[in-house]
Amino acid sequence: MGGTHSTSHSDGSRPRSEVWAGTMKGVATDEGIVLAHRNSPPPAVQPRLLDRRAREDAEHEALTAGATRADGAGQRALEEQPDPLRTCFERDRDRILHAAAFRRLAGKTQVFVFPADHQRTRLTHALEVAQVATAIARATGLNVTLTEAIALGHDCGHGPGGHASEDAFDEFIPEGYNHAIWGANVVLVPLNLCSQTLDGIRNHSWSLPTPSTPEGAVVSWADRCAYSAHDLEDAVHAGIVSIDDLPEEVTEVLGRTRSSQLGALISALVRCISERGVVGMDPTHASALAALRHFNYEHIYMRPDSLAQGEAVIKVLRSLVGYYAEHPDTMPVTAQGDDAVRDAVTYVAGMTDRYAFDQAVHLLGWPLDRLPKSIDRPDA
C-alpha cells in the first residue's frame, strides 16, 4: 500500500498513515496465532490439507477421460523435485504469472500501438483468452490449471508492435520467426515449464500442428474466439468500424456484442466437446466465427493505417536488431551469447513497444514522424 503521507483521518482521529502503520505486525492472539484484522477473528474452517498428492487424486476422480492429469506429467527439460503443495501445472501457471516476459505483455500491441486505457494489450488479451479457455475446460471436465497456464503463456513470444514484429524478425532467423514457437523454445525456457504446457504454447496457432493435449486444443480455439470478439470491440470504440457493418451471418448466429459473441462460441465449443468428444465446433458457429475474423481482417488489420503502422514497426525493429547485432556489448550481459544476430532478435523481441521506439530514437536518431502512430494520439 502506498500513500502513507496522507493526512486524512480514516478512523476519525488518527492520520491514515498512522492507521496503516499500526497494522504492520498484525494482531497476536492468546492462542499463538497472528491475525490480519483487529475487529474480530476470521470465520473458522475445518482443518484440512489439500496438498499436491490430494489434488492429483482428486483430478483422477473429477476430470473426464482423455483430460490431462498432473499425476504422471511434469516432464521438464531440467528435472525438479515435485512441489509439496502444488501440482506441476499449478507451478507452471505461477511461474508464468511472475515472469518478466508475461508482465511485459502489458506494454505490447494487441492491435493498436500505444494503446489507450480502454484498449487491449497483449496482457489483457492473454487474460481474456484464459477466461474463455478455462470456462470451456471447466464445463467439460478438462484440466483447468493446464489450460490456464497455456493461455497465460501463449503470447509471450510476441515482439513489440504486434504481428508485424514477426515479419521484421523473419529476416534474421533462418527458420523464420513465429511467436508461438519462439515463446516456447526461447522466451519461456528459463522457467523450465512442463512439456505439456510448452506444447500447448508452441502449437496454439492454427497454422501449426495440433496440440498434443485437449487443453492445448481448447486454448487454440479460445485464442481465436477471444481476439475476434475483442478486437472488433476495440475497433468499434475507436470509430474504425461499426457494428452495423457486420455480416448478417455474424449477428444472427453470434450477436452484436462481445459478450453475446463469446457466450455463443463458448457454448458451441462446450456442446461439441461434451456431445462428440472432440475439441471443435459445429459448422454453423464455426462459419460465423470465420466470417467475424474475415471482417476484422479486411476492415481492421488490413486497413491502410494498420498496414502503414506495420511497415513502420518493421523498419524500426529491423534497424534495432541491426544495431545490437553490430554492438552486442550494448545489450545486457544476460542477453549476450554466441550468436550476435540471434541474441539481438531475442533482446529486441522482449522489449515493450514504448521501450523499443524510445531506443530507436535515442540510439539511432530515429525521426519521430517515422515511428508508428497511435490511433488516439497520431503524433505519439
Per-residue model confidence as pLDDT tens digits over 210-257: 999 999 999 999 999 999 999 999 999 999 999 999 999 999 999 999
Name residue 121's beta-bridge partners.
109
Round the average pLDDT of the chain to a whole number and report it: 93
Residue 114's pLDDT is 75
Q: Tell me the one-letter amino acid at 379.
A: D
Average pLDDT over residues 77-101: 97
- Report the chain's C-alpha Rg in angstroms: 24
Residue in 287, 279, 159 with CA at minimum distance from that of residue 222: 279
More confident residue, 116 or 132: 132
Distance of CA 79 to the CA centre of its chain: 26
What is the H or E stretch that residue 35 is in? Answer: strand 34-35
Give whole-number Cα distances, 234 to 163, 242, 301, in Å.
17, 11, 12
Band of pLDDT at residue 5, cut at 50, 70 and 90: very low
* C-alpha cell, 172: 534474421
Residue in 137, 160, 159 with CA at minimum distance from that of residue 147: 137
The DSSP 8-state label assigned to residue 11 in this structure reads T
Residue 237's pLDDT is 93
Distance CA 147, CA 102 (A): 16
Distance CA 328, CA 157 (A): 21
The domains of the chain, with CATH numbers, are 86-305 (1.10.3210.10), 306-370 (no CATH)
Average pLDDT over residues 314-336: 95
SS3 109: strand
Average pLDDT over residues 104-127: 90
In sign, the C-alpha dihedral spanning 259, 264, 268, 270 is positive
Q: Count Cβ atoms within 10 A of the Cβ of residue 355 and give its class: 0-12 exposed, 13-18 middle, 19 or more buried.
A: middle
Band of pLDDT at residue 378, cut at 50, 70 and 90: very low
Per-residue model confidence as pLDDT tens digits over 142-167: 999 999 999 999 999 999 999 999 99
Per-residue model confidence as pLDDT tens digits over 19-38: 889 899 999 998 899 999 98
Residue 377's pLDDT is 44
Average pLDDT over residues 74-93: 97
